[in-house]
Amino acid sequence: MELNAEVIELSKLAEGKPAAVFPLGLPVLLIRLGAEVFALENRCAHMGCPLAAGKLDGHILRCPCHDWRFDIRNGRFLDAPELAVKTYAVKVKDEKVFIRIP
Ligand code: FES
């Protein structure tokens, strides 16, 4: 079963600034870039550091702990694409951000 969980109002997401949210208790990271919003698990695939404290450069997010870099469009670790953090489908409706939780 899938669930569309309302996460936040779009106006509360600052451009390019990762935001940690907890829909249904899950650690999720949202990033707004222009008209798009990306949602990833807020837990690094290496040792679990919260990625919300990472540095964003375009679509690449660098983990604050040991500098692993992830593409926020698909969650892939750049140096070994077989590793990834989970991503969630995002929908923006009526200025609210929803993510699909499987
Ligand atoms: S925990 Fe993210 S790079 Fe080590």
pLDDT in tens, 6-56: 899 999 999 999 999 999 999 999 999 998 999 999 999 999 999 999 999
Sequence ranges of the domains in the chain? 3-101
**Architecture of the domain spanning 3-101:** 3-layer Sandwich (2.102)
> pLDDT at residue 2 above 80?
no
Average pLDDT, the chain: 95
What would the DSSP string read from start to end of 35-74? TEEEEEESS-TTT---GGGSEEETTEEE-TTT--EEETTT
Residue nearest to atom 1 of ligand 1 (CA): 47
**How far does the centroid of ligand 1 lie from the alpha carbon of residue 99, in Å?**
24
Instruction: Give the Cα separation of 67 and 60 in Å (integer).
Output: 11
In the DSSP assignment, the letter for residue 13 is S
Query: Among the atoms of ligand 1, which is closest to the Cα of residue 66?
Result: 3
pLDDT number for residue 3: 74
pLDDT number for residue 98: 95
**Closest by alpha carbon to 66, among 57, 76, 53?**
53
Pocket test for ligand 1, best of 44, 51, 55, 76 (most atoms within 8 A of CB): 44
Q: How many residues are there in the chain? A: 102
